[in-house]
Structure 1
Amino acid sequence: MAEKKISGGVKALLELGPVALFFIGYIKLKDQVFTFGGTEYDGFIVVTAAFIPLLLLSTGILWALTGKLSKMQIMTVVLVVVFGGLSVWLNDERFFKMKPTMIYALFAGILGFGLLRGESYLKSVMGEMLPMQQEGWMILTKRLVLFFVTLAVLNEIMWRGFSTEAWVNFKTFGLTAALFLFFMTQSRVFSKYGIEPPKEEP
């Protein structure tokens, strides 16, 4: 399927909407307990069970509209289904809380493996959106590996040492803000190594 363009607003809604709804659902149901088939499930598990098909639906719509999904998006969906499904199946919220750790550790591992081969796998994902010299991609990839490792460690600290509510806030706002701030602070790399697209002839 050929890649198609959609507006940034629609793309952001499909990518961030499920996370926002997860947060809202948790806030509303966090103190409630539900019984299904004779087993009690707290609000976190119920919201997690709803989040999985919601993410699959939004990702499917994004693929239908654009004709393309990045490898990172696909891996994220797979890990959400696996770890979220384990949390629901075993009625144990710890598996879903581990999911960001696994995601960031996997991303760091893949990008780090590319660096060992002298390549930037990040370029293959973002190269079309952000034309940049190879040296710039290598610098950005090294920094992103360290950043992902840091996020993985922080997630472990948060879910093991703090309350579920604190972890949900960290996951919803802290991780999102951290990613935004990281790329904002890389502006010097983008400006120094960025490649200007060729101007079209009038």
Structure 2
Amino acid sequence: MATVEPRKNPKWVRPAVDYGGLVLFLIGFLIHRNLMEATWWLVAGSAIGLIVGFVFEKRLATMPLLAGGAALVFGGLTLIFHDTRFLKVKPTIINLAFAVFLLGGTVLKRNPLKHLIGEALHLTDAGWRTLTLRYGLYFLFVAALNEVVWRTQSDTTWTFFRFPGLQVLALLFSFSQVPLIMKSAGEAEALHVGDKPVAPDE
């Protein structure tokens, strides 16, 4: 009997879930030149993104759920209190939370990053510790950078820093970690091969 392959989601689903809210936020700001108006677009886009993800993927992935949920919470606070500071401090709070999670795990001799993406990468314990430490420091840097930008620059500058600036920064940082990942993955593979039992001579 022929097996039925699971239906693949359209290619636009994942980008829509991950970036739909931010794209609409930028579009809203370019149209209205006003952060309060743009926040409505962000909230609507984030809600739609979560719904699309659930409809097509039959689940809410962890990272999109955190990002979308935070956008709804901070966006909602911005609209309720008519204060854009809630929107502006969101990247600070979220990145600080990630930094504490990763750096705290490192201090406790844990590998929280491995638990998050361990299925996608196979690294040595030393590689995971180094990668976790680097990402923790990166999130700490981004949190501080966001504070500097929103407190010293115009709404227009901060909006473009928020998107696509932070996404470009994250992409560049991730690329900079490729040498470490490849080196550690090679070492992990060598250890795995070395641990295999040697077949007896026939």
- Normalising by structure 1, we get a TM-score of 0.82
Q: What is the CA–CA distance in structure 1 between the aligned matches of 2:118 and 2:10, rounded to whole Å?
A: 19
When the two chains are superposed, the root-mean-square deviation of aligned CA atoms in Å is 2.2
1:148 to 116, 139, 154: 139
Q: Does 1:128 align with 2:131?
A: no
- 2:91 matched residue in structure 1: 100
Between Structure 1 and Structure 2, how many residues are aligned? 183
Q: CA deviation at 1:163?
A: 0.3
Structure 1 counterpart of 2:74 = 83
Does the Cα contact within 8 Å between 2:20 and 2:45 map onto a contact in 1?
no
Distance 2:166 2:120 in 1: 22
**Structure 2 counterpart SS, 1:179:** helix
Q: CA deviation at 1:182?
A: 0.6
Check whether the contact 2:28–2:37 (CA below 8 A) recurs between aligned residues: no
The residue aligned with 2:200 is: none
Given that 1:120 and 1:138 are in contact with CA atoms closer than 8 Å, whether structure 2 keeps it comes out as yes
- Which runs of 5 or more structure 1 residues have no equivalent in the other structure? 31-42
Instruction: Decide which moves more: 184-193 or 14-23.
Output: 14-23
Q: 2:14 aligns with which of 11, 15, 19?
A: 11
Rounded Cα–Cα distance in structure 2 between residues aligned with 1:7 and 1:116: 41
Structure 2: state its 5+ residue gaps.
1-6, 193-202
Equivalent of 1:48, from 39, 42, 56?
A: 39
Query: Is the 2:105–2:112 contact (alpha carbons within 8 Å) kept by the matching residues of 1?
Result: yes
Match of 1:13, as an amino acid?
A
2:55 equivalent among 55, 64, 85: 64
Identical columns (%)? 30
Q: Distance in 1 between matches of 2:110 and 2:9?
A: 30
**TM-score where L is the length of structure 2:** 0.82
